[in-house]
Structure 1
Amino acid sequence: MSEIRIVRDYPHSPLKVWRALTDPALIPRWTSTGKGARAVGFRPVAGTRFQFVAKPMPGWRGIVDCEVLEVRERELLRYTWVGAEGEEPSEVRYLLEPVATGTRFTYHHTGFAGVGGFFMAKVLGAVRRKMLTTGLPALLAELDENGVSAARGGPAAGR
């Protein structure tokens, strides 16, 4: 089976990184370096079913169906990923670890089967690397330590 594993260190607190990764209002801002998916119905609560919704492309309907499997706030988020109807679910894991310089974030996506899975892992891996190298750092730079967007003058979640 193929997988995607990306590890990045960010000079920000686990609280700030967690907020950027799990606040539905912020997710499209760091994923915009990929396809800008919105997390529709997402809450970081086990059992929550949600969808990532992006612009459809030839061969893809623009929707990924997901279900939250496990949450440990500021530490771990695990969810299923089904990118096409009838596809077997794969699994995504976000792991946050405090380090002396801020937070180590590990993105791990497993369960890609067969030749098609191998190619999907390659394509998604390149997109995820861009999001985590360009998109997420840019968003984190805009947020205060509580995950509030200074540029917007209010809570990042639109509260």
Structure 2
Amino acid sequence: YKFLVTLLDSRHQNVCYFACGVLTNLTSERIGRILLKEEGTITRLVECLRDFGPSDWQLATVVCKALWNFNEDVNEAETVIGNEETNTLLDLLASFLDEQITEHCCWNVDLLEYQRTYWEVEFKPVAIKLLDKIHHHHSYLEPLPEPF
């Protein structure tokens, strides 16, 4: 599992994409979620989404699917993802779901229409479901301090 998590730190989108695809499959099982969480996978997935999201909606979609799987059997998002990562993820998803982002995300004019279509058909539905799930299980209350 460590090897896959290490691949998420790659600066190459295609390496991250394939690693996320494997992680999506591994996180479909409870034991995979537990082992991968211990390796810091969630933080790396959120970073991958932040770094590559608007320039690669396919990668952003597969990251969201892996994060969805991590939240498969959870009552509070923070217990799985962590409070800081949850807040970062909420901000990222909200900004990536703004339709204006599709006008500024693609540097290759020839791919602009493809990227817009992929964002609308593939990324947007997955991101909305993930955002709704996190909102449903997210507490906006500050945790109480540990007793002495």
What TM-score, normalized by structure 2, do the two folds share?
A: 0.30
When you count strand as a share of all residues, which structure comes out higher? 1
When you count helix as a share of all residues, which structure comes out higher? 2
